Each structure stands twice: as structure tokens, then as C-alpha cells.
Amino acid sequence: QAQLVESGGGVAQPGGSLRLSCEASGFTFTNYGVHWVRQAPGKGLEWVAVISDDGNYKFYADSVKGRFTISRDNSKKTLYLQMNSLRPEDTAVYFCAKGRSLFGVPWDSLDIWGQGTMVAVSS
Amino acid sequence: QSALTQPASVSGSPGQSLTISCTGTTSDIGGHNYVSWYQQHPGKGPQLLIYGVTYRPSGVSIRFSASKSGNTASLTISGLQAEDEADYYCSAHRGTTVLFGGGTRLTVL
């Protein structure tokens, strides 16, 4: 059964950094693009970033461009999100999600989601 | 304010049908067929309901159907059940950016 499990969330100060991880199991991780999507408390979903199956392309939301970096280690079946220069508005539950199609386009539907990890940015 | 516009809330009685709309522009919903819908229950990760405008993934109830006309996508839920009470989100891309609607809270009366 395909599964994604996020970790690494916690409390950070404004201007600080955190690195999130997302471990995949139950599917061939190397064949799919993967995304980060966040949800602020009581708010809707906001797409954050995507990385292709081979890591050759990465796209970001304007709100995180230049501060966040998405990466993956296919040998470890793990997706990462390095978050620098954190702001209070980055406070959210961060989900990782898998693209639906084999070697799919960056804007593919997301068919497997993790349970999320909470990031709180506060002084 | 989200780039894709959904009603904040809808409600219906068990057994009824209802439709949730999602309005975008010619640069997103109106420009391609990569439109998706997701269901999210409180405290859980979202679940894919619809992809490619009208397609249901394996395991999703046939009570969920969807369509698109111009810049507006629609999700229809027929034979409402208590378990359908959740938040629903549409999604589409604009260029290399993935957009979500603001979400619609469905209440089963």
C-alpha cells in the first residue's frame, strides 16, 4: 500500500530554518513527481513546490521562492523541504503528496497524501 | 484570496444531490484538462476524488462526478451520505504553478 510519512516539523523563530522529510513506501518512488502542499490553521490548501521524478525540474509558489528548496534522495525514497528565512505566515501543516501518473507532468493530480507535519513560526 | 473561486459552504439532506462550482480563468481551468477535486475530512490529509476533469480514481464512489464548462469546473455529489460531510477543494495549474480553490465546507443536514 502506497504511503507517505512526513517528519521534521516543529517550532521555529522568524528568520530561522527547518528541514522537513517525507518517506515513501509501497510504490516505486523514483517514477513519480512529488509535491509539498501546506494548510495554515483553519485555512485552505496552498501548493508549495514540486520536484520531478528525476529531480531535474523544480517549481515553487511565489510565496516561498528563494526561501524554500525542494529536493529528493531516490536511494532513500525520501523527499525534503529545506525552509529558510521562515516567517509567521509559513505556519501550517505541511503535506507531501505524490503525482498520480508515471513520469507525469509537474501539475499532475495528487493521488497519495501524507498525514502532514506541523510547522509553527513564532518568537 | 484564492485564484480559483469556490463557494465557502454548501449543505444538503441525505439522499439529495448537490453541486460545487470552481471558477477560474482561461489561463487555468479554461485552458486545459488538468482539473482535479479533493475531499478532506477534519484532521486528515486530502483524498483525490477526480482527475482530468471527469475521471474517478479506483475506489472512489460513483456518486461523485464532475464536469467543466468554459472557465468553471463542477463537482456533483449524488445520494448525499453523512460520510460526505467534509471540505472539498478544486485544483488546476496555471503555467508551472498549481492552484487550489479556497475550499467548500459540505454539511449534511
Alpha-carbon distance A24 to nearest alpha carbon in chain B (angstroms):
15
Measured between alpha carbons, how far is B89 from B93 in angstroms, rounded to an integer? 13
**pLDDT score of A114 more than 90:** yes
Question: Is the CB of residue B93 less than 8 Å away from at least one CB of chain A?
Answer: yes
Question: Which chain A residue shows the shortest CA-CA distance from B91?
Answer: A109
| B34 contacts on A by Cβ (under 8 Å) | 105, 107-109
Q: Does B24 touch chain A (CB under 8 A)?
A: no
Nearest to A81 by CA among A92, A93, A68: A68
Kindly report the average pLDDT of chain B as a whole number. 95
Q: Taking Cα atoms as reference points, which of B94, B97, B105 lies closest to residue B6?
A: B105
pLDDT on residue A7: 97
Q: Which three cell numbers stand for residue B20?
A: 460545487
Residue of B nearest to A100 (CA): B51
pLDDT digits (tens, 9 = 90+) for B18-69: 999 999 999 999 988 999 999 999 999 999 999 999 999 999 999 999 999 9
Radius of gyration of chain A (CA): 13
Tell me: the pLDDT tens digits for B61-82? Answer: 999 999 999 999 999 999 999 9
Residue found by looking up cell 444531490 in the block: B17
Cell of B32: 486545459
Whether residues A45 and B97 touch (CB distance < 8 A) is answered with: no
User: Could you tell me if A11 and A120 are in contact, meaning their C-beta atoms sit under 8 angstroms apart?
Assistant: yes
A67 within 8 A of A77, measured Cβ to Cβ: no
pLDDT band of residue B1 (cuts 50, 70, 90) is: low
Q: Do B51 and A106 touch (CB under 8 A)?
A: no
